Amino acid sequence: MSEESLAPSRLEERSRALFLESVDGLDMATRSRLTQARHAALAAHAARRPWILRTPVLTSALGMSAAAVLGVTLWFGGPPGSHGSMPADNQSTFEDLDLVASSDEGSGDAMEMLQDDLDFYAWADKAANPEPAA
Amino acid sequence: MPGFDTLPAAWMVWDGPAPAPKGAVLEQTRQLDKFLAEIERRAFRMAQVALRDPDDALDVVQDAMLKLARNYGKRPSAEWRPLFYRILENGIRDLQRRRSVRKRFMAWLPGPKEDPDAETQDLVESVADSAPAAPEQLMQEQALAKLESSLRELPARQREAFMLRNFEGLDVAETATAMGCSEGSVKTHYSRAVHTLREQLGEVW
């Protein structure tokens, strides 16, 4: 190891002393601007966002994920009349299926109801168009 | 990544250290303020020696402060000094590179050539006040001017090593971190810088 790395030489001491004197002799305008710069840096430090929001890729990924979740939610849980289906719709759908299934059975009750309906329609037609007197 | 490698639902649960309470954040901000206040003038003068222009030096120092506060403010305060000077030296190098490109570009243009150093004021003038200089003070100013002139003539890496080690008082490891090189390189750059400066300043000092 050289001697100059063990103890500072005269050149090192003198140059350091001159440099520090020049630092002490900085004018007030420069000092003021440095103070303003420091305050700006501290304000940026105080307003520092979480690391996950400071990464552009992660921010984009988070935004796209949120949009996807919102889209899926609206698609499957949207208002009646849209592609979505509410619980009430499910119930009425099942009731309709029951009616269709029961009518397909060809039971006696269903046939009687159909006959009653035919009689009713025939009576209504006669009432609306009475036959002229001979 | 700490904290995300222990639980299966890692993306939902953070098991790392709890967020720092408000008092700790205030204390950290206070420490950062103290650190920046302590080094800002020396950093400015070092940037001024390298760039010759006080406005450019101020811009580079301000940028380094902002980057340190934003990106490394949460790091242990012992790491701030080498990190700050690494940011500062990178900023100085970037600015010098831009100047070089601009100078080459201007050389291609017709008309009067722009001299980037034309408007730079003498560093001694910016440091000294308006009081009449005593002979002793005049000699000090001349010595400082000669020192700065000699520092500017050094290769950039030698100048960085000399200023960081001698002016800022960083040890070899911190200087290596600040310069982004090995400790051996720091010793080599510093030794060569001292040798060259001794040759140049020997007559004056």
DSSP string, A39-103: HHHHHHHHTPPPGGGS-HHHHHHHHHHHHHHHHHHHHHS--TTSS---HHHHHHHHHHHHHHHHH
Q: Which CATH class is domain B124-205?
A: mainly alpha
Phi, psi angles (nearest 5°) of residue B96 = -65, -35
Q: With 70 as the cut, is the pLDDT of residue A95 above it?
A: no
Spatial contact of B45 and B166, defined as CB atoms under 8 Å apart: no
Nearest CA in chain A to B75: A45
Spatial contact of A15 and B197, defined as CB atoms under 8 Å apart: yes
Identify the helix (H) or strand (E) that includes residue A108: helix A108-128
A41 Cβ contact list (under 8 Å, min separation 6): B32, B36, B62, B65, B66, B68, B69, B70
CB contact under 8 A, B126 and A14: no
Query: Could you tell me the pLDDT band of residue A114, with boundaries at 50, 70 and 90?
Result: confident
- Walk along chain B (205 residues) in steps of 10 and give the mean pLDDT of each run: 46 50 78 95 95 94 95 90 95 91 80 53 52 76 91 94 95 94 96 93 69
The pTM of the full predicted model, rounded to 2 decimals, is 0.62
Q: B202 in helix, strand or coil? A: coil
Mutate to test the interface with B, among A3, A16, A26, A62 (most CBs of B within 10 A): A26
CB contact under 8 A, B69 and A48: yes
Least Cα separation, residue A68 to chain B (angstroms): 17
Instruction: Report the CATH fold assignment for B20-112.
Output: Rna Polymerase Sigma Factor; Chain: A (1.10.1740)
- The pLDDT, as a whole number, for residue B182 is 95
- The pLDDT, as a whole number, for residue A127 is 83
Give the C-alpha separation, B175 to B181, whole Å.
Answer: 9
Tokens of B84: 């700050």
Segments making up each domain of chain B, as ranges: 20-112, 124-205
CB contact under 8 A, B144 and A21: yes
B91 Cβ contact list (under 8 Å, min separation 6): B47, B60, B63, B64
**Which segment, A71-80, A104-113, B22-31, B167-176, is predicted with the most confidence on average?**
B167-176
